[in-house]
Structure 1
Amino acid sequence: MSLKAPPTILELAVKNLLGNQDFTISVLQEMPTEFFPSLFKEAFNRRCMRILPALVSSWPFACLPVGAMMKVPDVMILQAVLAGIDMLLTQKVHLRSSKLQVLDLRNEHNRFWDVWAGLEGLACSKGMLSEEQKCKGLPRYALRQPLKVVTDFELKAELDEQQAYLLQWAQQQKRSVKLYCMKMTICETSVELIKAVLKTFPQDSVEELELSRNWSLATLSRFAPCLGQMRNLHKLHLDRIDMYTDIGTNPLTDREEKRESKFMSKIFKLNCLRHLSMNYIFFSGQLLKHLCRSMMCPVESLSIQGCLLSEPDLEHLCLWPRLYQLKHLKLHGLSLLNLSPTHLQFLLEKVSDSLQTLELQHCLISDSQLRALLPALSKCSKLNRVNFFDNDISTSLLKDLLHCMANLSTLTEEFYPAPLECYDQGGLVLLMDRFANLCPDLLNILRSKRHPKKGSFGTTFCHKCLRRCIYDLRTGFCPCHKKR
């Protein structure tokens, strides 16, 4: 029977301080810096609304990452925190100048709460503070400089209560506070609402943007100027944007082509863009052609999922020089079955010195196509992750692939499909005994050259329970097959 550890002196002190909030507020200016993180966390968890504003206004660190503790929207907590900022901005005399420069409202893990509370110079918002600011406290006059409030926004049909309150507060304090949005997700949002929100903060503060909705070409072209203002955009994720109801049946009119071109031209001018992801996007057949001709910045990661790629599309993509420093390539849910492997082979050769992750999942790759890629794959010496799940590969060709991969010592994660011989002639029914017998021999191919750190063989998804049967060091059947 384990005994519960007795409370530390700091925990006892925090408990006593919260038990007498009036006294605690009166002595915050003289309180040791080391007390603040623990006292703030406990006051936050107990929802001590009286002391929270006082703690914020006296915060002795450069950054307050309160968003890391707000797992769900909580307008009352937000009001208390912003009330503390109001107190900080209106105070004229300080026994101890506040060092707060950044209020971070992003709901993501922050190392600040994990480390020793005495790290006074710890900054929490990447890119928001200079090295000198990270190490030194602010002088008194710095309170007249705009304080930075960093957040993320997920825009839907309407603003939620917390978003509306934050935007209204930021407008009221716009002379003293700068609101920055680092990541924006737009889903089923009107262009009017988007423009209203974007007016509240510098648009060049947006570093990551996700567009996820069905937009007409007219609507997309109206949004284009907003996109053009996001000059520091590093990541762009386009998800399920289907602008056409009759794909492939009617060509675009001149007006429609101009609208598409207006939107695409803004993407081309994003000089900081390094990560591009397109899921289930249906533009005209000229999309990749224009993209590859006009986009000037080198791309580090490219993800294409569920899009219709033609032979010219694949050719334009693989001949795009800006991809030749690519580190991460993901092609998922594409039909490559009837396309020549030559272009993809050429791209793999070009990126062999930089490519770290390669995912060719559910791409209907045939034996002959994969065989053509093997020489290029063998040169990708920096690969640490590969995924070939859900491709119809024979045992013979899969063995050749494994011999090729066995020579890549940098691989730490590798996922291979169960070979075709594990299914019946129709390819729908899994032959469990054959799967269990074949996989150990396949895994031994890797083991003959190195010890695989994380290697798995997976079947297609079971149509009943939507799970795979997996073999790594042992066979793991999905619930449906376990019952047989």
Structure 2
Amino acid sequence: MSVQAPPTLVQLAMQRLMREEALAISSLQYLPRALFPPLFKEAFNHRQTNVLRAMVAVWPFPFLPLGTLMKTPHLETLQAVLDGVDMLWKQKLLPRKRKLQVLDLRNVYHDFWDVWAGTEDGDCSTETVRETQRGTGLHRYALRRRLKVLADLCLRFHLNEHQAYLLQWAQQRRNAIRLCCVKMQIWALPVYTIKKVLMVFQPNSIQELELNTGWSLSTLVHFASYLDQMRNLQKLLLTRIHKNTFKVLNTSLDIQKCITKFVSQFSKLNSLQCLSMNGVYFSSEHMKQLFRYLKTPLETLSITMCKLSHLDLNSLSQSQSLHQLKHLSLRLVKLIDLHPMPFHDLLQSVAGSLQTLELEGCWMVDSQLSALLPALSQCSRLTRVNFYDNDISTAVLKDLLHHTANLSQLTQELYPAPLECYDDRGDVLMGQFSQLCPELMDTLITVRQPKKVSFATCVCHECCQRCVYDLETRLCRCQQ
């Protein structure tokens, strides 16, 4: 039977302070610096807003990572913290005398709370404190004249009360506050609301932007003027902007000009590293323009559920901005009707850098995959490949596996079950599946020592599962 250790004096003191708010607030000026973080966490967890308000006003550190504690938004807690900021800024202190310089509202991990929590008895050594300050670089914030507030925004249909309050508070204090949004997601939000949001934020603070909206072309072009200001944007995701936005055959000159104006903004994105287009189609000419406008090499390119032409593949293979790709995904992009050589050239150009290759659901056939094998075998840095849902025979799959002999860094390999595993209606022949997949695995083992490998059928239309072989056979529910 274990005996529970009695509470320490520090824990007893904090428990009393939490029970007596007036005492807690009056004691803050005498409270040791190292006790502020654990006391703040206690007040936060118990939603003692008066204590939080008073603690923020005398916060002894340059950095307050509030978002790490606030997993779900709570308006009264946010109001209390921002009231504390107001109290701090109303004090007649020189900027260099104010301790708090950065308020982080993002729900991201930060070791601040872990380090200041110290050991189990609540103690935190002086050496640990010094190491923490040195490691987190808090001195960088010491000379800021305005408080920097970091936030991520996911805007869905309308502003919630938490977001609306923060934006209104920041708008009214623009001379004292720098509100910076690092990651912004926009889902079907009216453009006038977006305009109000971007008037409060500094557009050049946005590093990740996701647009998933039903905007018309004219609205998209209006937004392009804000995209022009996002000079530090590193990641851009465009998801089904509008079902007719990028239809390009027989379109009017005005629509062509709208698309060209939007695409031209990519020339301003000097920090862009990741570009994802999901369900968005550009014309061959606009695709060529887009990759010509890019000023810096991309690390990640993802094109999903889009239709590509032969000219599009040519643009991809010839673009200098893609020659250092680390991650390439063409999931659900129909390649069956396209000549494979431009794609071969693209793989060859990224052979020295490519780490992941996603070709799931591309409808490739034997002749196309065979044409890619010489280039694929040179991609020696690959760690993951995905060829699920392509129409490949046993013979070509064996050839593919032999061509991976030099790909020693592969940690995950996903291959389709061969064509011989299906009947004329596309139903799985379980006898063939159980025989051919182990044969393919044996072929791979003779070439090198694989780590994580699986062969899988297409998704069953009835149960939405696959039959998978990865040294043992796992059947979909319909086949069990």
Per the TM superposition, whether the score is higher than 0.5 is: yes
CA contact (8 A) 2:106 2:152 kept: yes
Cα deviation for residue 322 of structure 1 reads: 1.0
Equivalent position of 1:288 in the other structure: 287
Equivalent position of 2:120 in the other structure: none
1:443 matched to 2:441? The reply is yes
Partner Cα distance (1:176, 1:246) in 2? 42
- In the TM superposition, what are the counterparts of 1:200-211 in structure 2 within 5 Å? 200-211=200-211
Identity %: 49
Equivalent position of 1:184 in the other structure: 184
Partner Cα distance (1:123, 1:229) in 2? 35
Q: Secondary structure at the match of 1:314?
A: helix
CA contact (8 A) 2:37 2:116 kept: no
Partner Cα distance (1:83, 1:186) in 2? 28
Equivalent position of 1:105 in the other structure: 105
Q: Which amino acid aligns with 1:256?
A: I
Deviations 1:33-58 (A, max 9, x none): 33333322232222122211223233
Cα deviation for residue 403 of structure 1 reads: 2.1
CA contact (8 A) 2:217 2:245 kept: no
1:327 matched to 2:326? The reply is yes
CA contact (8 A) 2:38 2:116 kept: no
Equivalent position of 1:128 in the other structure: none
Partner Cα distance (2:361, 2:206) in 1? 33
Q: Which amino acid aligns with 2:252?
A: T
Partner Cα distance (1:435, 1:110) in 2? 48
- Please list every run of 5 or more consecutive structure 2 residues that lacks an aligned counterpart in the other structure: 118-123
CA contact (8 A) 1:243 1:282 kept: no
Cα deviation for residue 306 of structure 1 reads: 0.6
Equivalent position of 1:78 in the other structure: 78
Q: Secondary structure at the match of 2:325?
A: coil
Equivalent position of 1:32 in the other structure: 32
TM-score normalized with structure 2 length:
0.90
Partner Cα distance (1:401, 1:411) in 2? 14
Q: Secondary structure at the match of 1:218?
A: helix
Partner Cα distance (2:264, 2:246) in 1? 24
CA RMSD of the aligned region, Å? 2.7
Deviations 1:219-257 (A, max 9, x none): 111111111111111111110023528946x52222222
Partner Cα distance (2:221, 2:81) in 1? 39
Q: Secondary structure at the match of 2:196?
A: helix
Cα deviation for residue 190 of structure 1 reads: 1.7
CA contact (8 A) 1:418 1:458 kept: yes
Partner Cα distance (1:149, 1:468) in 2? 47
Change (3 A) 1:212 1:395: same
Q: Secondary structure at the match of 1:152?
A: strand
- Please list every run of 5 or more consecutive structure 1 residues that lacks an aligned counterpart in the other structure: 125-130
Partner Cα distance (2:163, 2:32) in 1? 34
Equivalent position of 1:263 in the other structure: 262
Partner Cα distance (1:308, 1:26) in 2? 66
Deviations 1:446-480 (A, max 9, x none): 33354433222222112122222222232222333
Q: Which amino acid aligns with 1:180?
A: C
Equivalent position of 1:456 in the other structure: 454
1:15 matched to 2:15? The reply is yes
Deviations 1:184-241 (A, max 9, x none): 1112112211111101021111111111112222111111111111111111111002
Cα deviation for residue 432 of structure 1 reads: 2.9
Partner Cα distance (1:463, 1:4) in 2? 57
Q: Secondary structure at the match of 1:332?
A: coil
Partner Cα distance (2:3, 2:71) in 1? 28
Cα deviation for residue 386 of structure 1 reads: 1.0
CA contact (8 A) 1:407 1:449 kept: no
Cα deviation for residue 291 of structure 1 reads: 1.2
Equivalent position of 1:170 in the other structure: 170
CA contact (8 A) 2:266 2:293 kept: no
TM-score normalized with structure 1 length:
0.89
Deviations 1:391-432 (A, max 9, x none): 1111211122122224311111221112222222322x2223
Partner Cα distance (1:267, 1:138) in 2? 32
Q: Secondary structure at the match of 1:27?
A: helix
CA contact (8 A) 2:381 2:409 kept: yes
Partner Cα distance (2:130, 2:338) in 1? 55
Cα deviation for residue 292 of structure 1 reads: 2.4
Equivalent position of 2:298 in the other structure: 299
Change (3 A) 1:462 1:243: closer
Q: Secondary structure at the match of 1:463?
A: coil
Cα deviation for residue 97 of structure 1 reads: 5.5
Q: Secondary structure at the match of 1:414?
A: strand
1:278 matched to 2:281? The reply is no
Q: 2:137 aligns with which of 134, 145, 149?
A: 134
Query: How many residues are matched?
Result: 469
1:159 matched to 2:162? The reply is no
Partner Cα distance (2:113, 2:432) in 1? 51
Partner Cα distance (2:456, 2:4) in 1? 45
Partner Cα distance (1:100, 1:476) in 2? 56
